[in-house]
């Protein structure tokens, strides 16, 4: 067990506690939080904003006085609503933004009750720095294998097939809640903040054995609105690659399955097409929007492959991934689940 001052715990001791309680506001919690933490706000969003205004416009004393009353009320509500069933031996870790008064208030009262409650030293701010530092430390230790392939080559589904066969993987697109291209937004699913993405990424990386290969999909620096941290993207770009070379017909068939939902909202699809105006002519965009209106996804996806994604892929892979030129090629005419499972089996046999 990590040694720490009474009522205080460092960021490396997080896993030693029975429960992690984030007493920041719901808005702060939604942006990012320690994995597994529950939110019991010392001040809700409106209260936090009000106290901040009083602190700046009236005085710190008046802000602390009203803030203390609000925190006391919210603490009592949290205690009666969430924690009365906890046993005497319960050990919670409590944190706020930087280990200050909000978490300190909860820790003080919980310890008076008799629980061995501890405040996270430095709060979320210190945890956030820990995430950044750990990604810097752990990323270069990974034995990466980068899966390359043009858009529609079912790289993510291959990654899932590899994981199903026991391989180590990092699914960056799942962590980012985005498929990585201009068409990659997932309907009804918001992307995480950059901070939350990196928290999720660290949680995934910490589970990996650096002595075993880890498969990851080739990605641009950005996946939708979030960026892959520099230590990882730099390591990916220097790592060995393998390339999936699927036929055009197989790729279109796959895209029709995997992106079928794009035909459900034609106006949203046309908006995505319009976002390509920096790299495509107005005439091309008009043709593509007409295909969208006709719901002719087969022709539209063929156009995307021929005139947008393949030229971009051919320009970028050799430049961005040092191991791409020497990558073993896996040629396939079938991207069905059964075929991808067979391909995953072949890759693992040849990687072992």
Neighbours of 51 (CB within 10 A): 20
Residue 4, pLDDT score: 53
Tell me if residue 96 is catalytic: yes
User: Residues 257, 157: contact at Cβ < 8 Å?
Assistant: no
Query: If you average pLDDT over residues 203-223, what whole number do you get?
Result: 97
Query: Tell me, what's the pLDDT at 182?
Result: 84
Q: What whole-number distance in Å separates Cα of residue 130 and Cα of residue 125?
A: 9
pLDDT 10s digits, 312-328: 888 777 788 999 999 99
Structural domains of the chain in order of their starting residue, each with its CATH number: 8-131 (3.40.250.10), 146-351 (3.40.50)
Average pLDDT over the chain reads: 95
Q: Give pLDDT, residue 282.
A: 95
228 vs 187: which has the higher pLDDT: 228
Taking the complete model, does pTM exceed 0.85, yes or no?
yes
For residue 97, name the pLDDT band (cuts at 50, 70, 90). very high
**Residues 153/335, Cβ–Cβ less than 8 Å:** yes
> How much of the chain exceeds pLDDT 70, in percent?
98
Average pLDDT, integer, range 198-213? 98
pLDDT score for 176:
98
Catalytic residue among 40, 96, 118, 241: 96
- Quick check: 242 pLDDT over 60? yes
3 band by pLDDT with thresholds 50, 70 and 90:
very low
pLDDT digits 0-9 by tens, 29-47: 999 999 999 999 999 999 9
pLDDT, tens digit, 9 for 90 and up, residues 145-174: 999 999 999 999 999 999 999 999 999 999
83-87, 136-140, 231-235, 278-282: segment of lowest average pLDDT = 278-282
Give residue 5's pLDDT.
Answer: 64
């Amino acid at each position: 067990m990590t040694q720490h001052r009474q009522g205080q715990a460092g960021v490396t001791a997080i896993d030693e506690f029975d429960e992690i309680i984030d007493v920041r506001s719901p808005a702060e919690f939604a942006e990012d939080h320690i994995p597994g933490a529950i939110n019991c706000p010392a001040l809700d969003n409106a209260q936090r904003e009000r106290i901040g205004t009083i602190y700046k416009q009236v005085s710190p004393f008046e802000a602390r006085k009203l803030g203390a009353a609000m925190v006391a009320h919210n603490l009592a509500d949290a205690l009666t609503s969430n924690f009365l069933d906890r046993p005497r031996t319960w050990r919670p870790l409590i944190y706020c933004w930087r280990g200050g008064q909000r978490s300190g208030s909860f820790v003080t009262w919980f310890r008076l009750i008799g629980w061995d409650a501890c405040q996270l030293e430095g709060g979320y701010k210190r945890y956030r720095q820990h995430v950044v530092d750990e990604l810097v430390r752990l990323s270069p230790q990974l034995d990466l294998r980068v899966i390359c392939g043009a858009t529609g080559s079912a790289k993510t589904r291959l990654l899932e097939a590899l994981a199903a066969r026991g391989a180590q993987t990092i699914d960056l697109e799942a962590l980012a809640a985005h498929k990585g291209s201009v068409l990659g937004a997932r309907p009804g699913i918001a992307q995480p903040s950059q901070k939350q993405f990196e928290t999720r990424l660290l949680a995934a990386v910490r589970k990996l054995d650096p002595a075993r290969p880890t498969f990851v999909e080739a990605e641009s620096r950005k996946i939708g609105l979030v960026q892959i941290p520099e230590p990882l993207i730099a390591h990916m770009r220097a790592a060995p690659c393998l390339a999936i070379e699927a036929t055009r017909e197989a790729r279109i068939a796959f895209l029709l399955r995997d992106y079928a939902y794009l035909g459900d909202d034609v106006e949203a699809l046309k908006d995505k097409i319009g976002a390509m105006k920096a790299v495509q002519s107005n005439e091309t965009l008009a043709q593509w929007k007409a295909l969208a209106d006709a719901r002719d996804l087969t022709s539209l996806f063929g156009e995307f492959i021929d005139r947008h994604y393949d030229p971009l892929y051919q320009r970028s892979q050799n430049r961005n991934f040092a191991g791409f030129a020497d990558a073993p090629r896996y040629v396939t005419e079938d991207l069905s689940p059964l075929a991808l499972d067979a391909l995953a089996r072949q890759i693992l046999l040849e990687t072992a």
